[in-house]
Copies of this chain bind each other. A is one copy, B any other.
Amino acid sequence: ANIVTLPGDGVGPEVTAAAVAVLEAVAAHYEHEFAFDEQLIGGAAIDATGEPLPADALDACKAADAVLLGAVGGPKWSDPNAPVRPEQGLLALRAALGVYANLRPLTVHPALADLSPLKNEKLKDVDVLFVRELTGGAYFGAKTKTADAATDECKYTVAEVERVTRRAFELARARRRHVTSVDKANVLETSRLWRRTVTRVAADYPDVTLEHQLVDSMAMLLLTRPGSYDVVVTENLFGDILTDEAAALAGSLGLLPSASLGEGSNGLYEPIHGSAPDIAGKGVANPVGTILSVALLLRHSLRLEAEAQAVEAAIDHVLQHGPRTRDVGGDAGTVEVRDAVLKALA
């Protein structure tokens, strides 16, 4: 399998390196051949080439079996009015790969419940799979800008809503058969189209229960009864906000993985944390979110379920017994955690 790595900015290179080491160990142990091709994205790419996603990098990603990304952005490129910004590389990549379904699983490891801002009793049974639409909405709509005003258009087609909804329902079938669709149908036209389409598609999945929630209510319900959700499907911007909110429940952003999938088997895998410039280069970043992203890569792009589960079991072991990085109450570095995962895998 050909895997493109995009270390990107900040802690991106550190966590990507740890995750690649895990993939190499999996390859050795299970006798697979993984070829790695490192490419530029984000601020690092802007510095080297002037562009946030050089054509070479994009071509390599398109041809790959899977893409593993670290993080993009940082204070050096943070002027939101700059003509070229690191985030543009990530958005262009998502669009070019057509990865419209962003899967963000949330579970709270029992050994880390004390780190969560939520009361422990609220965390019982929390096991949510967010399916965030990733290539539509206000992220990709027409924009205008004058000295006096600016606009962003949020646009959705029925086809865009339908494909991500089907993905959510398929995933729910392998879980607890419950889908919560989140919109703002009392205000937005795109949300009314969203709700209408989700409701129609749901009829094809009579074995799955569908519930609609407004995004403002959902922001509250994720705190008051997080244990009652299974699959949550929503549009791009609402998904961005709700998944970060939900991530806080896990105790650290550094723990959580994501997979972005399209129609083919190629996918984009990244931890949900950002480039964390405050700790970049110090060797203390938590590699768990990226290593769990590698488990998703093994599962969804390479169809290596046993290998995916082995990685997840190794992470589970390390979260239980340590070592842990600072963000989860320990004092270990990235490399120590990586080595503990490699040992647990062996």
> Once the chains bind, are A80 and B192 in contact (CB under 8 Å)?
yes
A223 within 8 A of B: yes
A247 within 8 A of B: yes
Residues of B within 8 A of A188 (CB): 138, 143, 152
Kindly state the interface size class of chain A when it binds its partner: 35 or more
The listed residue (B150, B159, B196) touching A189 by CB distance below 8 A is B150
> Once the chains bind, are A81 and B241 in contact (CB under 8 Å)?
no
The listed residue (B119, B150, B151, B241) touching A241 by CB distance below 8 A is B241
User: What is the copy number of this chain in the assembly?
Assistant: 2
> Once the chains bind, are A138 and B244 in contact (CB under 8 Å)?
no
Shortest Cβ distance from residue A53 to the other chain B in the assembled complex, whole angstroms: 15
Closest chain B residue, CB of each to CB of A219:
B245
Q: Which of A218-270 contact B (CB under 8 A)?
A: 219-220, 222-224, 237-238, 240-245, 247-249, 253
> Once the chains bind, are B145 and A151 in contact (CB under 8 Å)?
no
> Once the chains bind, are A241 and B215 in contact (CB under 8 Å)?
yes
A117 within 8 A of B: yes
User: Chain A interface secondary structure, helix, strand, loop or mixed?
Assistant: helix
Closest chain B residue, CB of each to CB of A91:
B187
- 11 additional A-B pairs beyond A139-B187, A219-B244, A223-B223, beta carbons within 8 Å, are A81-B196, A118-B118, A138-B188, A145-B193, A148-B157, A150-B192, A150-B193, A216-B241, A216-B244, A219-B219, A245-B245
CA of A303 to CA of B91, assembled, Å: 49
A residues contacting B by CB (< 8 A) are 73, 80-81, 85, 87, 91, 116-119, 122, 138-139, 141, 143-145, 147-159, 184-193, 195-196, 215-217, 219-220, 222-224, 237-238, 240-245, 247-249, 253
CA of A326 to CA of B127, assembled, Å: 28
Nearest first, the 7 A-B pairs at minimum CB distance are A80-B185, A219-B245, A150-B193, A216-B244, A143-B189, A223-B248, A150-B189
